[in-house]
């Protein structure tokens, strides 16, 4: 069957002409699309881009801003009181429709949602402030980790049965070591010594000045190869 | 190199004021040590001898790098009188060791001090005295003292090594110090000599030799050179190993018709059968507490390593990877077993925890055989093929570089480290 189809010249011819017609139609469609798009582009003038300024603010500033916004509902709260007089209320309604109506102005119904209290907003700001700095904290910890690891010289193998030692490191504000003490010993005083040495060799550490208190006391668990 | 693994802090309010993190060991790095040796002007050659023995010991452990005396800022005299730590910190010395060598009544005295310049602290000090003919022993004692102070593990520098030198049809038993010094033939012209093992006191050696074409087990007295057979049964008698207390010798015998582990009581001169299994059990090794024996068995089809309690019970499989695992040797600390395995179709020396975890490959190559631990469990010996001749190598048990300890022109196999 397939052999006959391939040999038949009539069949071959009709197949070729169909291909040709299809190709022409495709070309016409593509050219037409380009022309229409170009025309549409020329009539719709792009609006000038609005500039949006993004600035980073501190947690305290954020709290301040949120306190300001929380004042707005207080103002709108007054409106329902005015509503007691029916006639001015009607007037205002008419004015709103006729005069320059701002669709983005806060709707009156929003004034009903006044549940958030000032205190909780401050809490939120606090949490946000912490979340912002958490990544920073992690970065400083990673730097400390790397510094100590680089300076930790283990010259020989240790017994697999020893526990992983824990060291408490107290830092000064300038990142230098105030004290480094073994909290949980490995049982091998020579190995314990390498830990204290690694900490002293890695100092001074780079610390965030505002959040130094978070880094004053550090506990490092050393994991020797076993 | 292993990558640093991060484990970040817990951020609940209660732990906010105590940062917690983990630091992972990425590898092993030698400590820079400055060796300062002083003696009177007439004893310069002795001073040089002590310096080179100690330096060689410390370097061979691969735990130390000795600093070139030309880089020293402080001079020997003032350092011995009053060490100035800053002078040593500046040249990057992790440790400073001073040694005052003096001759007192035909004895040598070495007064050793170890300092940590980084923390401006003296770590330890000790004085050693030895007869004049034990000068090398004295030098190794100094090395041992430094090693123990810094690593926290006893040094192995006064230990000895036995190996088998094969020439033609005959084999000799060769003895030497761990650093290759004092090499001497202690037993001559054995018809084959296999798997010598040192008794804990260092006087006797249990070994497997042949009389005609029949294998037998013998003890060899290192002080008198006397050989006495203790196992010459029908069939195979092989791979003897002393128990940690020296009271028993475990070996593989096949007189029952199947190769099993048997235990010989040295005091009573009696044998008892330890394993009973249709599979072949061979190459026994004792745990340091003397309560277990690990051995090679093909009970599950391929040679694997098992351990079984002396008091009885089921054999537990230790080796979990590869289809070929043989020649187990229990580490002196008991935490690991060294053995011969296959890695990518090559023979390999490896160690593993006794529960089968923590597999660590140390060396690969042709004909890697006969692992043996140093008495402190820090180093391993093994023999490997070298263009027909075998050579004995030493490698740190925690990894590192393999270094040959026998000459290239002799066939040196079956090393045994003293206990």
Residue-wise pLDDT tens digits, A90-137: 444 444 444 565 656 555 544 444 444 455 556 655 655 555 467 778
Please list every residue in chain A whose beta carbon sits closer than 8 Å to the beta carbon of residue B4: 145-146, 149
ipTM comes to 0.82
Q: If you measure CA to CA, which chain A residue comes closest to B59?
A: A155
Nearest CB among B8, B61, B152 relative to A141 is that of B8
Q: Where are the domains of chain A?
A: 134-221
Q: Are B297 and B306 in contact (CB under 8 A)?
A: yes
Q: Are B262 and B271 in contact (CB under 8 A)?
A: yes
DSSP states of B304-318 as a string?
A: EEEEEETT----EE-
A151 pLDDT higher than 70: yes
DSSP states of B22-60 as a string?
A: EEE-----PEEEEEEEE--GGGHHHHHHHHHHHHHHHHH
CA distance A62 to B147: 60
Q: If you measure CA to CA, which chain B residue comes closest to A152?
A: B25
CA distance B299 to B276: 11
Class of domain B31-151: alpha beta
Q: Inspect the interface and report whether the beta carbons of B31 and A155 lie closer than 8 Å.
A: yes
Which CATH fold topology does B160-417 show? Answer: Neuraminidase (2.120.10)
Class of domain A134-221: alpha beta
CA distance A208 to chain B (A): 13
Q: What is the pLDDT along chain B (419 residues), one digit of tens a residue?
A: 444 443 333 333 334 457 899 999 989 999 999 999 999 988 999 999 999 999 999 999 999 999 999 999 999 988 999 999 999 999 999 999 999 999 988 999 999 999 999 889 999 999 999 999 999 999 999 999 999 999 999 999 999 999 999 998 899 999 999 999 999 999 998 999 999 999 999 999 999 999 888 999 999 999 999 999 999 999 999 999 999 999 999 999 999 999 999 999 999 999 999 999 999 999 999 999 999 999 999 999 999 999 999 998 999 999 988 899 999 999 999 999 999 999 988 999 999 999 999 999 999 998 999 999 999 999 999 999 867 899 999 999 999 999 999 999 999 999 999 98
Please list every residue in chain B whose beta carbon sits closer than 8 Å to the beta carbon of residue A198: 23
Please list every residue in chain B whose beta carbon sits closer than 8 Å to the beta carbon of residue A222: 22-23, 25
Does any CB of chain A come closer than 8 Å to the CB of residue B149? yes
Please list every residue in chain A whose beta carbon sits closer than 8 Å to the beta carbon of residue B61: 156
Least confident of A110-124, A192-206, A212-226, B336-350: A110-124
Which pLDDT does position B299 carry in this prediction?
94
Q: Where are the domains of chain B?
A: 31-151, 160-417
DSSP states of B213-253 as a string?
A: TEEEEEEEETTT--EEEEE--SS-EEEEEE-TTSSEEEEEE
Which pLDDT does position A110 carry in this prediction?
47
CA distance A195 to A24: 79
Q: Are B90 and B216 in contact (CB under 8 A)?
A: no
Q: What is the mean pLDDT of residues A25-45?
A: 87
Does any CB of chain A come closer than 8 Å to the CB of residue B63? yes
Which pLDDT does position A159 carry in this prediction?
84
pLDDT confidence of A42, banded at 50, 70, 90?
Answer: confident
A212 pLDDT higher than 90: no
A70 pLDDT higher than 60: no
Query: Terminus-to-terminus CA distance in chain A, angstroms?
Result: 74
Please list every residue in chain A whose beta carbon sits closer than 8 Å to the beta carbon of residue B118: 197, 200-201
A82 pLDDT higher than 50: no
Q: Inspect the interface and report whether the beta carbons of B21 and A141 lie closer than 8 Å.
A: yes
Please list every residue in chain A whose beta carbon sits closer than 8 Å to the beta carbon of residue B27: 154, 225
Least confident of A30-34, A79-83, B31-35, B285-289: A79-83
Q: Inspect the interface and report whether the beta carbons of B21 and A220 lie closer than 8 Å.
A: yes
φ/ψ of residue A54, rounded to 5: -115, 120
CA distance A195 to A216: 18
CA distance B49 to A48: 89
CA dist list (Å): A121 to A63, A118, B277, B359? 7, 5, 77, 56
CA distance B397 to chain A (A): 7
Does any CB of chain A come closer than 8 Å to the CB of residue B61? yes
**Residue B416, class by beta-carbon neighbours within 10 Å (0-12 exposed, 13-18 middle, 19+ buried)?**
buried
Q: If you measure CA to CA, which chain B residue comes closest to A186?
A: B152
Q: Inspect the interface and report whether the beta carbons of B26 and A226 lie closer than 8 Å.
A: no
Q: Inspect the interface and report whether the beta carbons of A153 and B396 lie closer than 8 Å.
A: no
Q: Inspect the interface and report whether the beta carbons of B23 and A213 lie closer than 8 Å.
A: no
Which pLDDT does position A161 carry in this prediction?
84
What whole-number percentage of chain A has pLDDT above 90?
Answer: 36
């Amino acid at each position: 069957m397939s052999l006959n189809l391939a040999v038949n010249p009539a069949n071959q011819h009709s197949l070729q002409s169909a291909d040709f017609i299809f190709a022409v139609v495709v070309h016409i469609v593509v050219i037409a699309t380009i022309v229409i798009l170009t025309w549409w582009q020329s009539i719709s003038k792009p609006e000038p881009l609005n500039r949006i300024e993004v600035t980073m603010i501190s947690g305290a500033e954020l709290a301040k801003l949120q306190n300001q916004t929380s004042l707005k509902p207080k103002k709108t709260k007054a409106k329902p009181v005015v509503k007691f007089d029916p006639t001015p209320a009607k007037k205002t309604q008419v004015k709103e429709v006729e005069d320059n109506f701002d669709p983005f102005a806060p709707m009156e119904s929003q004034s009903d949602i006044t549940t958030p209290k000032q205190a909780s907003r401050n809490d939120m700001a606090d949490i946000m402030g912490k979340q912002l700095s958490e990544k920073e904290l992690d970065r400083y910890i990673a730097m400390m980790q790397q510094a100590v690891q680089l300076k930790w010289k283990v010259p020989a193998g240790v017994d697999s049965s020893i526990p992983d030692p824990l060291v408490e490191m107290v830092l000064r504000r300038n990142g230098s070591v105030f004290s480094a003490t073994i909290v949980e010993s490995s049982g091998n005083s020579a190995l314990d010594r390498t830990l204290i040495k690694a900490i002293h060799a890695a100092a001074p550490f780079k610390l965030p000045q505002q959040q130094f208190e978070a880094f004053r006391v550090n506990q490092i668990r050393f994991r020797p190869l076993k | 190199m292993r990558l640093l693994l991060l484990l970040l802090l817990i951020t609940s309010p209660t732990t906010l004021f105590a940062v917690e993190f983990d630091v992972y060991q990425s590898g092993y790095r030698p400590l820079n040590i400055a060796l300062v040796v002083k003696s009177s002007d007439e004893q310069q050659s002795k001073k040089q001898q002590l310096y080179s023995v100690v330096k060689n010991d410390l370097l061979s452990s691969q735990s130390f790098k000795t600093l070139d005396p030309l880089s020293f800022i402080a001079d020997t005299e003032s350092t011995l009188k009053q060490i100035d730590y800053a002078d040593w910190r500046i040249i990057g010395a992790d440790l400073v060791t001073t040694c005052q060598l003096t001759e007192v009544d035909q004895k040598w005295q070495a007064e050793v001090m170890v300092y940590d310049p980084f923390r401006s602290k003296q770590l330890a000090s000790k004085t050693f005295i030895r007869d004049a003919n034990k000068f090398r022993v004295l030098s190794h004692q100094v090395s041992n003292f430094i090693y123990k102070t810094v690593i926290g593990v006893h040094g192995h520098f006064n230990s000895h090594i036995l190996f088998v030198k094969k020439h033609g049809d005959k084999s000799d038993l060769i003895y030497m110090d761990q650093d290759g010094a004092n090499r001497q033939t202690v037993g001559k012209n054995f018809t084959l000599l296999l798997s010598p093992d040192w008794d804990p006191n260092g006087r006797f050696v249990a070994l497997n030799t042949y009389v005609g074409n029949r294998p037998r087990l013998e003890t060899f007295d290192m002080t008198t050179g006397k050989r006495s057979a203790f196992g010459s049964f029908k069939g195979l008698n092989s791979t003897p190993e002393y128990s940690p207390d020296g009271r028993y010798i475990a070996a593989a015998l096949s007189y029952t018709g199947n190769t099993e582990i048997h235990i010989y009581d040295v005091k009573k001169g009696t044998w008892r059968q330890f394993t009973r299994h249709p599979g072949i059990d061979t190459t026994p090794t004792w745990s340091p507490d003397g309560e277990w024996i690990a051995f090679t068995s093909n009970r599950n089809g391929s040679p694997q390593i098992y351990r079984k309690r002396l008091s009885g019970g089921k054999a537990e499989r230790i080796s979990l990877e590869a289809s070929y695992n043989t020649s187990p040797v229990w580490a002196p600390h008991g935490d690991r077993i060294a053995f011969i395995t296959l890695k990518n179709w090559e023979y390999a020396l490896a160690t593993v925890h006794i529960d089968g975890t923590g597999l660590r490959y140390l060396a690969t190559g042709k004909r890697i055989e006969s692992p043996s631990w140093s008495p402190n469990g820090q180093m391993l010996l093994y023999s490997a093929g070298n263009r027909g001749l075998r050579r004995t190598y030493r490698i740190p048990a925690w990894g590192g570089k393999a270094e040959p300890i026998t000459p290239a022109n002799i066939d040196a196999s079956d090393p045994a480290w003293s206990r």
